[in-house]
Amino acid sequence: MMTRPLLDVHDLRVTFRIRREGAMPWAAPLPLHAVSGVDFTLDPGETLGVVGESGCGKSTLARALIGLVPAAGRAEWIDGRDLIGLSPRQMMTYRSDIQMVFQDPLASLNPRMTVGQIIAEPLKTHRPGLKSAEVKERVKAMMEKVGLLPNQINRYPHEFSGGQCQRIGIARALIVEPKLIICDEPVSALDVSIQAQVINLLIRLQRELGLALIFIAHDLSVVKHISDRVMVLYLGKVMEIGTTDDLFADPQHPYTQALLSAVPVPDPDYDPAATVVPLAGDLPSPMSPPSGCVFRTRCPRAQPVCARQVPALLGDAHQTACHFPGPLSDEEIARARAVRAA
């Protein structure tokens, strides 16, 4: 029997209305499709990595799932409830199930609150019946769990290092025993040496608590390390999604291949110039995305049909949104390099 996914997202869309600078007050604002039709599923206890260039809508996707920005489409929770468009009161029940860890560890903590108050806030919001002694007990236990000294409970965020601040952020997310944690680039603001500690902490906690993770990152090697499956976004659309092993070993979409080729390989003979597939041109504006396949303006394999028809996301476990999936040939790589050089 198939188990139900924890989260089943279908055709999720987030559109911002942008008022152009200097436009007349009555001029209609222009739509910006930050997320335009994303589909994926997430099983309980699974980690989904989300990668893509800056501005492709990763954070917006996270914020839509947690109800911070209005969205359209469906996001079905394991109990069958659609999370999109719930009233704030209805959403309250699910807020303790879905928590978020933010990118900037220090900025995500209120500088005027002690660590104890910060970590206790979700508990006080979602379990108002708890006595304060009990809250303190749980906060201390959670601090210990994430590798903080419980006697630091009265300290303020500015007295901690970046890595410790992120541990506080993780403790705050975990205290209400969520089923899903969305991590929006949780380590990209940290020193490399600290990154590994925080990542390993996340992995350990996930195994212990059976959490599902949506892990957003720039750094593909981190994503590869932590994820069960990976989703590649481009201009608010899913380009490719598959298990980590499949996707890294055998990427089908030209965009994924370009992204992966840019990952440094720990090899002394490694010459980036020989392997990198460059991306021609700049990221198009999400206010006026290309017709058909959104990647076509930078794709070395683009054909006339790519401009006319939006490629559907096809496949079973390993899905690709491309009319001509498959590994890039040497000729195509050479063409991409030539365009870049010109």
Partner 1 sequence: MVIEERKMQSLAARLSQDEVRGRSPWADARKRFVRNKAAMAGLIILILVGLFALLGEYVAAWSNDELDFTVMGQVAQMGMPSLQNGHYFGTDDLGRDLFARTVQGTQISLMVGIVGAAIAVVVGTLYGATAGYVGGRTDQFMMRAVDILMSIPYMFVLILLLVMFGRSMSMLFLGIGLISWLDMSRIVRGQTLSLKNREFIEAARAIGVPAWKIVLRHVVPNLLGVVAVYATLLVPLMILTESFISFLGLGVQEPLTSWGALISEGAGTMNYGTLWQLAFPLFFFVITLFGFFFVGDGLRDALDPKDR
Ligand X SMILES: Nc1ncnc2c1ncn2[C@@H]1O[C@H](COP(=O)(O)OP(=O)(O)OP(=O)(O)O)[C@@H](O)[C@H]1O
The residue ranges that bind ligand SF4 (CB under 6 A) are: 254, 293, 295-296, 299, 301-302, 306, 311, 322-324
String of contacts with ligand X for each residue 10-29, x by CB under 6 A: ------x-x-----------
Q: Is 154 among the residues that bind ligand X (CB under 6 A)?
A: no
Q: Is 275 among the residues that bind partner 1 (CB under 8 A)?
A: no
Q: Which residue is nearest to ligand X (CB)?
A: 59
Order across the sheet with 212-216: list the strands.
98-101, 180-184, 212-216, 47-51, 229-234, 237-243, 319-320
DSSP 108: T
Round the CA-based radius of gyration of the chain to a whole number and report it.
Answer: 22
Pairing of strands 72-77, 7-18: antiparallel
Closest approach of Mg ion to the CB of residue 184, in Å: 6
Residue 128 interacts with which of partner 1, ligand SF4, Mg ion, none, CB < 5 to 8 Å by class: none
Give whichever of 136 and 340 is closer to partner 1, judged by the CB atom.
Answer: 136
For residue 81, the SS3 value is: coil
DSSP 70: -
Q: Is 253 among the residues that bind partner 1 (CB under 8 A)?
A: no
Q: Is 90 among the residues that bind partner 1 (CB under 8 A)?
A: no
Main-chain phi, psi angles of 233, to 5 degrees: -105, 145
**Which residues, including other chains, have CB under 8 Å from residue 308's CB and lie 6 or more apart?**
291, 292
Q: Is 56 among the residues that bind ligand X (CB under 6 A)?
A: yes
Q: Is 57 among the residues that bind ligand X (CB under 6 A)?
A: yes
Closest approach of partner 1 to the CB of residue 177, in Å: 14
Single residue of 6, 7, 34, 48 touching ligand X by CB under 6 A? 34
DSSP 27: S
Closest approach of ligand X to the CB of residue 34, in Å: 3
Single residue of 15, 36, 59, 320 touching Mg ion by CB under 5 A? 59
| Size of the residue set binding partner 1 (CB under 8 A) | 39
For residue 225, give both structure tokens.
């390390």
Q: Write the burial class of residue 126 (CB in 10 Å: 0-12 exposed, 13-18 middle, 19+ buried).
A: middle
Q: How far, CA to CA in Å, does 307 sit from each of 234, 237, 259, 292? A: 16, 16, 22, 4
Q: Which stretch binds partner 1 (CB under 8 A): 14-22, 107-115, 286-294, 320-328?
A: 107-115
Summarize as ranges the residues that interact with ligand X (CB under 6 A). Answer: 16, 18, 32, 34, 52, 54-60, 286
